[in-house]
Chains A and B, each alone.
Chain A
Amino acid sequence: MECKTHISVRDLSVFYGGAQVLNNISIDIPDKKLTAIIGPSGCGKTTLLKSLNRIIDLQDGVRVSGQVFVDGEDIYDPKVEVTHLRKKMGLLLQRPQILPMSIYENVVYGPRIHGVRNKKKLDGLVQCYLKVSGLWNEVKDRLHSPATRLSIGQQQRLCLARGLAVEPEVILGDEPTSALDPISAERIEQRLLELKSQYTVVLVTHNLRQAKRLADYVIFLYLGNLIEHGPTEQILKNPKYVKTQNYINGEFIEELTIDKELNLKATVCPDNFAKAKLALEELKHGQVLKIVVDYEVAVNEVPKAMEFEGHKVLEIKRINQKDWEILIQKRNGVYTI
Chain B
Amino acid sequence: MNRRKIEENIFRCFMVLSTFMVVGSLALILVTIFLKGFPALNLDMLIKTPKGGYYIGKEGGILNAILGSIILGIGATFLALIVSLPLVFYLNLYVRKKSKFALIVRFFLDVLWGIPSIVYGAFGFTLMIFFGLRASLLAAMITVALLIIPIMARSMDEVLKMIPFELKEASFALGSTRLETAVKVIFKQALPGIITSILIAFGRGIGDAAAVLFTASFTDSLPYSLFKPVATLPLAIFFQLGTPFPEVQERGYASALVLTGIIFLISIVSRILSKKFSKRIIK
Chain A residues with a Cβ under 8 A of chain B: 53, 55, 58, 60-61, 83-87, 89-91, 93, 95, 97-102, 109-110, 113-114, 146-148, 159, 162-163, 166
Contact = CB atoms under 8 A, between A and B. Distances in A.
A99 B97 contact: no
A60 B169 CA distance: 13
B173 interface: yes
A109 B96 contact: no
A3 B51 CA distance: 91
Contact of B175 (A98, A99, A166): A166
| Most-contacted residue by chain A among B97, B175, B188 (CB, 10 A) | B175
A84 B173 CA distance: 10
Given A93-B170, A159-B170, A87 B280 contact: no
A99 B168 CA distance: 9
B180 interface: yes
B167 interface: yes
Contacts of B177: 83, 113
Contacts of A109: 171, 174, 176, 184-185
A93 B280 contact: no
A58 B167 CA distance: 12
A264 B185 CA distance: 46
A113 B180 CA distance: 8
A55 B184 CA distance: 19
A101 B282 CA distance: 9
Contacts of B184: 109, 113
Given A102-B280, A113-B184, A55 B172 contact: yes
Nearest to B167: A97
A87 B171 CA distance: 11
B24 interface: no
B92 to A, nearest CB: 12
Given A91-B173, A97-B166, A100-B185, 7 more contacts: A60-B96, A60-B97, A87-B175, A97-B164, A100-B280, A109-B171, A114-B175
A102 B188 CA distance: 11
Contacts of A90: 173-174
A109 B186 CA distance: 13
Contact of A101 (B97, B175, B280): B280
Contacts of A98: 170, 282
A110 B165 CA distance: 18
Nearest to B190: A100
Contact of A113 (B164, B174, B188, B189): B174
19 contacts: A55-B169, A55-B173, A58-B168, A61-B96, A86-B172, A87-B174, A90-B174, A91-B173, A99-B170, A99-B171, A100-B185, A100-B282, A101-B188, A109-B174, A113-B176, A113-B177, A148-B281, A159-B170, A166-B174
Nearest to B173: A91
B281 A162 contact: no
Interface in B141-183: 164-177, 180
A86 B174 contact: yes
Contacts of B283: 148
B145 to A, nearest CB: 29
Interface string B257-283: 000000000000000000000011111
B98 interface: yes
Nearest to A54: B172
Interface in B234-270: none
Nearest to A99: B185
B3 to A, nearest CB: 27
B167 to A, nearest CB: 6
Contacts of A100: 167, 185, 188-189, 280-282
Nearest to B175: A87
Contacts of B167: 97, 99-100
Contacts of A99: 167, 170-171, 185, 188
Contact of A93 (B169, B189, B281): B169
| Most-contacted residue by chain B among A60, A99, A114, A166 (CB, 10 A) | A99
Contacts of B188: 99-101
B5 to A, nearest CB: 24
